Amino acid sequence: MNDARTHMTAETVRVLLEGAGAQVMAREGRSESYSAPRDFSFQVKGVFSNGMGLHVLARQFTYRDPWEGVGRVNDQVDVSLLRDGSYSPLPKGYPWFQGVEMEEGLDEETLKEVVAIVSGLNPKIYLLQQLTGD
């Protein structure tokens, strides 16, 4: 099966966030055993120097073959935005996190775009939008 989606791991997401300047913590959740008690495959939290952070959670494997024996991958993740340690939407004008604190089903390319926006965000924009009523 030729599938263009790229799978993500705790390690690849950790490297992505660290490459953007975040301090990162990562942990695996689900093992290769069906009896594993966790409801996620991995989670990674990264905090950038601007006080913004991302919590990336891969909830379950996507199966690439009919018997679920091989090809178990994570090609989509859920991402929550953190500001000063609390969940937060992005300021107006961005394509993600508008009125929501979590974006679901992001692929690797979309995750890279979100990381670039959040890592480069000046948090003073929240205050500016509050002062202008926007």
What residues of the chain score a pLDDT lower than 70? 1-6, 29-40, 60-73, 134
- Residue 2: per-residue pLDDT: 43
In angstroms, the CA 27 to CA 38 distance is: 11
Task: Delimit the domains of the chain by residue range.
Answer: 10-132
Contact 13, 56 (CB under 8 A): yes
* Helix, strand, coil share of the chain (percent; to 5): 25, 30, 50
- Residue 14: per-residue pLDDT: 94
In angstroms, the CA 16 to CA 10 distance is: 10
CB atoms within 10 A of CB 63: 13
* The model's pTM: 0.79
